Amino acid sequence: MKRTLLLIAAIACAFGATAQDIKLNAPVKTGGEPLMKVFNGRHSERTFVKKTMPLQMMSDLLWASNGFNRDNKRTVATAQDKQELDIYVMTDEGVYLYEAKAHHLKQIAKGNFKEALGQANISNNAALSIIIVAHLDKAASREYAYLSAGYISGHIYLFAESFGLGTVARGSFNKAELHKALKLTDKQEITLVQPVGFLK
Ligand SMILES: Cc1cc2nc3c(=O)[nH]c(=O)nc-3n(C[C@H](O)[C@H](O)[C@H](O)COP(=O)(O)O)c2cc1C
């Protein structure tokens, strides 16, 4: 039994995954409402019904927000193609880094860190919050990193509208506490937080 467990652990390590990571299926790249209808409906929502997001929907949302759609290129533009932005996902269970190339969620920390998100009335009932993090040492400039973060935020808004979810961009959060929860380095900076949730 012990040998079997060790073997499973060794295989998981070989593939860079642990039991707490979340395996995402390939994104479904079809569906949703027509784009012009989505533009017409796009808006901020701050009231959510507490519900877990199905994994396939999470997969599609993350891919749309910062995934790869061509060899080494993303669904979102970045200045000089620096691709300096990562997205993290916070749920009630923990914090995860979206590893875009592998299309995989790597667990960074287990537990509930939602307090660091601030505005509990918004975040607590969201299915998840996306945290957009800039690698300042990769970015063409800090200003460009923040501009590019806006593109990710825009994709989240459009995805939400297209698939009947709600979302709001949030610039107010506890920067120091969230930085700690995400185990970021001093070269990384949180630009924006964006809860996504289900509507009544
Ligand atoms: C960069 C940015 C930061 C924002 N920060 C917050 C925030 O901290 N809290 C909040 O409730 N809404 C926040 N918002 C949402 C705006 O208040 C909202 O977009 C605005 O009121 C217009 O409403 P609409 O998105 O429905 O058009 C932010 C929006 C942006 C673009």
> SS3 for the chain, per residue?
CHHHHHHHHHHHHHCCCCCCCEECCCCCCCCCCCHHHHHHHCCCCCCCECCCCCHHHHHHHHHHHHCEEECCEECCCCHHHCCCEEEEEECCCEEEEEECCCCEEEEEEECCCHHHHCCHHHHCCCCEEEEEEEECCCCCCHHHHHHHHHHHHHHHHHHHHHCCEEECCECCCCHHHHHHHCCCCCCEEEEEEEEEEECC
Residue 74, ligand 1, Cβ within 6 A: no
Specify the length of the chain in residues: 200
Cα of 184 from ligand 1 centre, angstroms: 25
CA separation for the pair 130, 165 (Å, rounded): 14
Mean pLDDT of 121-148: 97
Protein residue closest via CA to atom 29 of ligand 1: 169
Q: Is the CB of 165 under 6 A from ligand 1?
A: no
Instruction: Calculate how far, in angstroms, residue 145's C-alpha sits from the geometric centre of ligand 1.
Output: 19
Is the shortest distance between the CB of 34 and ligand 1 below 6 Å? no
d(CA 196, CA 185) in angstroms, rounded, equals 26
User: Span 91-103, mean pLDDT?
Assistant: 96
Residue nearest to atom 6 of ligand 1 (CA): 170
Report the candidate in 97, 77, 80, 99 with the shortest Cα–Cα distance to residue 155.
77
Q: What rounded mean pLDDT belongs to the chain?
A: 92
In this predicted model, what pLDDT tens digit does every residue of 36-83 receive, in sequence order? Answer: 999 999 999 999 999 999 999 999 999 999 999 999 999 999 999 999
Q: Separation of 194 CA from ligand 1 center, angstroms? A: 10
Q: Is the CB of 149 under 6 A from ligand 1?
A: no
Residue 11's pLDDT is 45
pTM of the model: 0.92
User: What is the predicted pLDDT for the residue at 171?
Assistant: 96
CATH architecture of 20-198: 3-Layer(aba) Sandwich (3.40)
pLDDT confidence band for 8 (50 / 70 / 90): very low
* 135-183 pLDDT per residue, tens: 999 999 999 999 999 999 999 999 999 999 999 999 999 999 999 999 9
The whole-angstrom separation of Cα 38 and Cα 157 is 9
Domain boundaries, the chain: 20-198
